[in-house]
Chain A
Amino acid sequence: MTTLSRTKAAAGQRARDWDVLWERYGITVVLLVAWVLAALFTPNFATKDNFFNMLRQGSFVGVAAVGMTIAIISGTFDLSVGTALALCAWLTIWVAARAGVAASIIVGLGAGVVVGAINGLLVSRVRIPAFVATLGMYYVVRGFAFIISEGAPATFNGQSFVWMGNGSIGVFPVPFLVMVVCALVGAGVLRFTAFGRYVYATGSNSMAALVAGVPLRQVTMLVFMVVGLFNAISAVLIGSRLYSATAALEPGFELKVIATVVLGGTRLAGGRGSLLGTVSAALLFATLSNVLNLFHADPFVQRVVEGLVLLVALSIEGVRQRIAERLSRTRGVVAEE
């Protein structure tokens, strides 16, 4: 090996190191920078009330995104979370008004896991591709939610129920703490359990994983149940936050959740991703809309900004790839495939 090619290899290694660092911590650094900038230039952003309220607002999507992160790492995803959210929230409130808070949480979470299990069966046993299976379930669940609710909202504002979405422990909002716990549990499962390793293996190369003895069907099944569970936790929190829910709660929630996961650096193609990134992305979206609110920006502008942020974040990699290709081409080196 000549000195020249060794230097080149070292440069390549350094570039890859930066890639890894950017992928793991980039969005978290962006979040912290955004907080510093917002504190410096946005009046009232750094007040206690506003900051912790922002944390609360970001947590509802954040909790559901924890489950979705695991699904996307395993190379699949779930479009039914939006309507499942409405179903679970409606059920939770309806039961809470009749049988108490504990029962309502059990029913709400149970419903989420059941929806997830059906998704899992459709994907792993009936072998319908996840995209269409969960798209079908999106409609089925919404229809079911409308049928059992007869289109009417459920409402309940018992104090201990409402506390879950609106209360705080110390300065920290309850939903934020729930999100932190969920992310820690999720990260622990991904890192320290066989299931977690199977999730990464399935996502990076499902054929290889199958050959290596990963029980693909059971993993897929479990992944969808996990998505359902975290989504249902989010549903309980949102139901409690709003005191009421209809079968049409939060349209477009599924895409919001997927956008958060993707912004957090998890690859849609599977195999790579982190919960730190997901949580940071959820808070970054919340920070953005909070800052825009504080500047009295048109609420409509927020949608546009959200889309642009997602686009910019996701195009960084592709644009860098292109620049690298152009550089190597001008230097007369064959582009890496």
Chain B
Amino acid sequence: MNGLSGLLLKLWRSYSTGLAVLVVGFVLSLLTPNFLRPENLLNVLGNASIVGIVGLGMTLAIAAGMFDLSVGSTAAFAACITLSMVPQYGVLLSVLAGVAVGALIGLINGLIITELRVPAFIATMSMMAIARGSALIYTDGRDVYLFGYPDYKVLTRPLWGILPMPVVLVLAILLVLALVMAHTRFGRYILAVGSNLSAARRSGLRSSLVTWGVFAVVGATAALTGLIVSAQVLTANARLNVGLELSAIAVVVVGGTSLTGGRASLVGTLLGSLLVTIINNGLNLLNVPIFYQQLTVGVLLLGALAISVGPDFNPMTYLRRQG
């Protein structure tokens, strides 16, 4: 690839999702005056951040050539634990505990993948059932309410009266992960493992450590997403965030991270979640029946993929064992 066409392709790869966000936003601002109202825009940003947070974690996993299907269950389990802890231990400690539980579940995923040599797909699929079941057992199938503890709302309340907390959190996580990817060995190793596992291993890279780290990060981000969702309504139950795994993978893919592994577009993931959220918000404002929103993600995903998939894709990357 050289010259102008190469440059254009590179620009398109980097900016197509952002361009789509701008175009959709422009069209919506023409169609409905409510779209550009500050409250609505902040609402959109907040909602995009929620799936964006777990999307950032998932981006690392996909860059390393793996998926995590257990994020929805992890989010639910962590939220149940945190909410049940708040009355006794206070908000800060409970939130930290919830995120730690998420990271721990992720770490277990990683251990299962490297030590028992179960493919990530199956390991995390089993964990999906196990974590969801554990959440059901822990809560006895009931809701965990947290009325009378407005402190916990800190996870959704606007910071300095303007920026919703989820937006602040997602930007902070983006910053940290972007620095990790660009400037640390861990970041480079993730890409190395994702682009060619056996080459990475032969050059002496301890791929097990990378896998554990990646899944711990995914678990922690999943837990944080679960906590924010539970903070919106001050309630958690074991059925929270069913299907989160598929929407997280969807925003990563819409954001342009290659499914082949070896590349990560963290900003793209956030733009992907912004695109999905903006479209759904627009459909809401235009009074389109809610059922049509179900179509959005699917059509977007297929559209994005139909444009961007190269012929060199090898699905086997996802199904190999580590060993």
Known: A143-B293, A143-B294. A129 touches B118 (CB 8 A): no
A308 within 8 A of B: yes
* Contact between chains at B316 and A269 (CB < 8 Å): yes
By the criterion of a CB under 8 Å from any partner CB, how many residues of chain A are at the interface? 54
Instruction: List residues of chain A with CB within 8 A of the CB of B298.
Output: 135-143
B306 contacts A146, C-beta separation under 8 Å = no
Contacts of A132 in B (CB 8 A): 253, 259, 301-302, 305
Minimum C-beta distance from B251 to chain A (A): 12
A139 to B316 Cα, complex, angstroms? 24
A146 touches B315 (CB 8 A): no
Q: Which residues of B contact A129 (CB under 8 A)?
A: 259, 305, 309, 313, 315
Given A139-B295, A269-B320, A315-B112, also A302-B133 (CB < 8 A): yes
Once the chains bind, are B130 and A128 in contact (CB under 8 Å)? Answer: no
User: A131 to chain B: which residues have CB within 8 Å?
Assistant: 259, 315, 318
Complex: chain B residue closest to A303, CB-CB: B133
Chain B proximity mask over A292-316: 1 for CB below 8 Å, otherwise 0: 0000001011111111101100110
A204 to B123, CA, bound (A): 22
Q: Please encode chain B, from 113 to 144, with 1 for each CB lying within 8 Å of some chain A CB and 0 for all others.
A: 00111110111011111101110110011000
- Are B305 and A128 interface neighbours, CB within 8 A? yes
- Whether A268 pairs with B119 at a CB distance below 8 angstroms is yes
Is A322 engaged at the interface, CB distance under 8 Å to the other chain? yes
Q: Please determine whether B125 and A255 come into contact, CB atoms closer than 8 angstroms.
A: yes
CB of B246 within 8 Å of the partner chain: yes
Most A Cβ at <10 Å: residue of B116, B121, B293, B298: B298
Residues of A within 8 A of B119 (CB): 268, 314
Look across to chain A and name the residue whose beta carbon is closest to the beta carbon of B298.
A139
* Neighbouring B residues of A322 by C-beta, 8 Å: 115, 117, 323
**Chain B residues whose CB sits within 8 angstroms of the CB of A150 once the complex forms:** 289, 291
Judge whether A139 and B294 touch: CB under 8 Å.
yes
* Chain B interface bracket (under 10, 10 to 19, 20 to 34, 35 or more): 35 or more
For residue A249, give the distance in angstroms from its CB to the closest CB of chain B. 14
Q: Point out the residues of chain B lying under 8 angstroms from A321, CB to CB.
A: 117, 323
Q: Give complex CA distance A126, B243 in Å.
A: 26
Interface SS of chain B: helix, strand, loop or mixed?
Answer: helix
* A75 on interface, CB distance cutoff 8 Å: yes
Decide yes or no whether B242 CB sits under 8 A from chain A.
yes
Q: Which residue of A lies closest to B321 (CB)?
A: A318
Residues of B234-282 whose CB lies within 8 A of A? 238, 242-243, 246, 249-250, 253, 259
Contacts of B223 in A (CB 8 A): none
Quote the shortest CB–CB distance from B275 to chain A (angstroms). 14
Tell me the smallest distance from the CB of A326 to a CB of chain B, in Å.
12
A109 on the B face (CB < 8 A): no
Closest to A118 in B: B302
When distances are taken between beta carbons in the complex, the residues of chain A under 8 Å from B130 are 303-304, 307-308, 311
Is A140's CB under 8 angstroms from B302's CB? yes
Chain B residues closer than 8 Å to A140, beta-carbon distance: 295, 298-299, 302
With A136-B298, A147-B292, A310-B125 known as contacts, the answer to whether A268 contacts B319 (CB < 8 A) is yes
B291 touches A143 (CB 8 A): yes
Interface status of A234 (Cβ within 8 A of chain B) = no
Asked if A144 CB lies within 8 Å of chain B CBs, one says yes
Candidates B116, B129, B293; contact of A307 at CB < 8 Å: B129
In Å, the complex CA distance between A259 and B118 comes to 13
User: Chain A nearest CB: distance from B125 CB in Å?
Assistant: 6
B69 touching A307, Cβ below 8 Å: no
Q: Bound complex: CA of A110 vs CA of B127, how far in Å?
A: 35
Q: Specify which chain A residues have a CB less than 8 angstroms from the CB of B121 in the assembled complex.
A: 268
A190 to chain B, nearest CB (A): 20
Q: Please tell me which one of the listed residues B132, B291, B315 contacts residue A303 in the complex, with CB atoms under 8 A apart.
A: B132
Q: Is the CB of A317 within 8 A of B126?
A: no
The answer to the question of A151 belonging to the interface, with a C-beta cut-off of 8 Å to chain B, is yes
The one of A76, A143, A319 in contact with B117, judged by C-beta atoms closer than 8 angstroms, is A319
Q: Is the C-beta of B297 less than 8 angstroms from some C-beta in chain A? A: yes
| Structural contact, A314 and B323, CB atoms closer than 8 A | no
**A251:B243 contact, CB within 8 angstroms:** yes
* A318 close to B118 (CB less than 8 A): yes
Contact B315 A319, beta carbon cutoff 8 Å:
no
Whether the pair B291, A268 counts as a contact (CB closer than 8 A) is no
Interface string of A140-159 (1 = CB under 8 A from B): 11111011001100000000
Asked if B246 contacts A138 (CB within 8 A), the reply is: yes
Interchain CA distance A135-B318 in the complex, whole Å = 15
* Per-residue interface assignment for chain A, residues 84 to 122, with 1 indicating a CB less than 8 Å from any chain B CB and 0 otherwise: 000000000000000000000000000000000000001
Interface check B148, CB cutoff 8 A: no
Indicate if B204 sits at the interface (CB-CB under 8 A): no
A14 contacts B by Cβ under 8 Å: no
Contact yes or no, B301 A300, CB < 8 A: no
B6 at the interface (CB under 8 A from A): no
> Given A311-B112, A311-B118, A314-B118, does the pair A135, B250 have CB atoms closer than 8 Å?
yes
User: Chain B: which residue is nearest A79 at the CB level?
Assistant: B246
B69 touches A255 (CB 8 A): yes
- Contact flag A76-B315 (CB < 8 Å), given A136-B302, A321-B117: yes
Across chains A and B, which 7 residue pairs bring their CB atoms closest together, nearest first? Answer: A318-B117, A139-B298, A303-B133, A143-B294, A143-B295, A307-B129, A300-B136
Given contacts A140-B302, A258-B125, A300-B141, 4 further A-B contacts (CB under 8 A): A135-B301, A143-B293, A259-B125, A303-B129
* 19 residue pairs from A and B, CB less than 8 Å apart: A136-B301, A136-B302, A139-B246, A139-B294, A139-B297, A140-B298, A140-B299, A140-B302, A143-B292, A143-B295, A143-B298, A146-B294, A259-B129, A269-B316, A269-B320, A300-B140, A303-B136, A311-B122, A314-B122
